[in-house]
Amino acid sequence: MDHRVIAPAPGSPAFQCKLRKSPSPSPAPWKCRVLAASSSERQFFQRKRPIYVPSRIDDPSYVRIFDTTLRDGEQSPGATLTSKEKLDIARQLAKLGVDIIEAGFPIASPDDLLAVKGIALDVGNRVDDDGYVPVICGLSRCNKADIAAAWEAVSHALRPRIHTFIATSEIHMKHKLRKSPDEVVQIATDMVGYAKSLGCQDIEFSPEDAGRSDPEFLYRILAEVIKAGATTLNIPDTVGYTLPSEFGRLIAMIKENTPGSQSVVISTHCQNDLGLATANTLAGAYAGARQLEVTINGIGERAGNASLEEVVMAIRCRGDEQLNGLHTGIKPKHIAVTSRMVSDYTGMTVQPHKAIVGANAFAHESGIHQDGMLKFKGTYEIMCPEDIGLVRADEAGIVLGKHSGRHALKTRLSQLGYELESKQLDDVFKRFKAVADKKKSLSDVDLEALLSDEVFQPEVVWALLDLQVVCGTLGLSTATVKLSGPDNIQRVGTSIGTGPVDAAYKAVDSIVQIPVTLLEYSMNAVTEGIDAIANTRVVIRAENSTPVTHAQSTEPVQRSFSGSGASEDVTVSSVRAYVSALNKVIGFSKAVPSSESSVSATQATTVATK
């Protein structure tokens, strides 16, 4: 029989979770806010999203989700994204239902400005049937050039926001800004006022390094920027220094002691240097913050940021019981696909034991755990994989092999949460048939590896057509590579090397002729067995690229670019990844005007860290 777990929230509709067959006649004690008719149709009950007003939220239990994957997340080493990739991710974030998308730091470079503007024009003007459209936000430091660039980029959205910041901790004001507290207050007030004078009615202000700032100074500067026109006050734990108890207390004290705080929205931005970003974010929400700044997979500077999926699912699972009924507008069934897209585009691999989206998040190997799961899944799972858009391999009813057609492939991809355009499906199907001829059947992870290699890739400039290698102990390894170039002309290159991959990379270099340094190379098998598909990730740096000036460092750094590839042949997988990274370098070079050589990857840019 089916058992339903009823978990009514105070003052809200009851939530039901239809569970699988269990010999136990009594419902499980754990609670799951899910409404569904069957496991294949299971969806979270979605409370109504309140009408967006910049300075207030009419539903006191609603928490806005501010995603900064495209800004803070992209600042992870090797996570550089092209404009196309940023737009793809922004569209997926809108499908996920985030309230605010921080699309980038427009002053950083012409490409960053154009990317943010493109997102504002596209995603920022797509209104769904419920009236939802995400706020498009641009980051700026507290100076007129930054703010003007941010407004130029985001003003095309239906709901534009400028996010400006300045450091407020003693260590930052003394050693980085070299300004007095009075000067910092004046700059912050003037620049918030300047943003408002441009016509922006949605202004977010962040006192950088608030976690180490003097609370009394925070109350003072926050009160002044409120008077100047700020509608959201974001409290960043910039270096991940605070503990949950003190960060929650800081939020509560800011709300209590800052004049005018009741007329604005309080926000959190927690870094993960001590592994406490999610805990601090939830502590801030419990203390009264109603906007939470997060990134997909928790990517970001240094140890990363609070993870969107962790924060959202924690609120989903425990919001009624432990967080005074807090809820978000996120549609969790899109979490898994969004996580995979960001991982593939940025090259930031998700660790297997990552909460919610890791490969082991719903895996059970212990005999005791397996026994409990077979008897009743609620024994060891506090949420269902279907809730975040995953489908258990043994429940789909479709086995894909060499005799499978396009419809079966499309159906399975749809069950996994991927909706492809006709051309994308054709490309994936072509690769699928080639692999299926060599494997008895393809698993879901095989399909996702192929999908990553065909769909989640930068704009194709160079494409691998053929590869042949000769290697072994009897002589030097030799590789011959055939590539199709930007002019659709096929070119062939041959080289020797210390091994097949080294020889193949040198052969590619002889064709593409962009001098790069290989920084990272890694490979893993996506499934077990001798016929497993290999997934390769590389990170490269263009030697002729101009160093990037970092906002918090006097030492320039250089952008690095990642690429991924998949194939049942490890050398082919390696070359696909290398060509993918080169395409990203070329795509970035085209978007950024430069007087240097045509192979230059970047021009002088400025990257902000908050």
The tokens of 169 are what?
Answer: 């901790």
pLDDT of residue 39: 36
pLDDT of residue 228: 98
Domain-wise residue ranges, the chain: 62-346, 367-450, 463-589
Tracing tokens 């989640």 back to the chain, one arrives at 456
pLDDT of residue 392: 60
Least confident of 170-179, 318-327, 386-395, 549-558: 549-558
In the 8-state DSSP scheme, what is residue 9?
Answer: P
pLDDT in tens, 308-353: 999 999 999 999 999 999 999 999 999 999 999 999 889 888 998 9
CATH of domain 62-346: 3.20.20.70
What's the rounded Cα separation, in Å, for the pair 195 and 202?
9
Tracing tokens 């997102």 back to the chain, one arrives at 119
Cα separations (Å) of 179 from 3, 321, 382, 445? 64, 46, 50, 53
pLDDT of residue 370: 65
Q: What is the CA radius of gyration of the chain?
A: 25
| Between 386 and 391, the higher pLDDT residue | 386
DSSP symbols for 427-447: HHHHHHHHHHTTSS-B-HHHH
pLDDT of residue 591: 57
Q: Is residue 413 within 8 Å of 428, Cβ to Cβ?
A: yes
DSSP symbols for 527-584: SSSTTPPEEEEEEEEETTPPPBEETT-SS-B---EEEEEEESSHHHHHHHHHHHHHHH
Mean pLDDT of 486-495: 92
pLDDT surpassing 90 at residue 449 = no
3.30.450, 1.10.238, 1.10.599, 1.10.10: which CATH number matches 367-450?
1.10.238
pLDDT surpassing 90 at residue 549 = no
Candidates 99, 205, 192, 105; CA nearest to 150 is 105
Mean pLDDT of 90-99: 97
Summary mean pLDDT of the chain: 84
pTM of the model: 0.79
- The pLDDT-based confidence of 13 (bands split at 50, 70, 90) is very low
Least confident of 4-8, 333-337, 365-369: 4-8
- CATH topology (fold) of 463-589: Double Stranded RNA Binding Domain (3.30.160)
**Same fold for the pair 62-346 and 367-450:** no
**Strands in 434-533 per DSSP E:** 463-470, 477-484, 490-497, 516-525
- The pLDDT-based confidence of 511 (bands split at 50, 70, 90) is very high
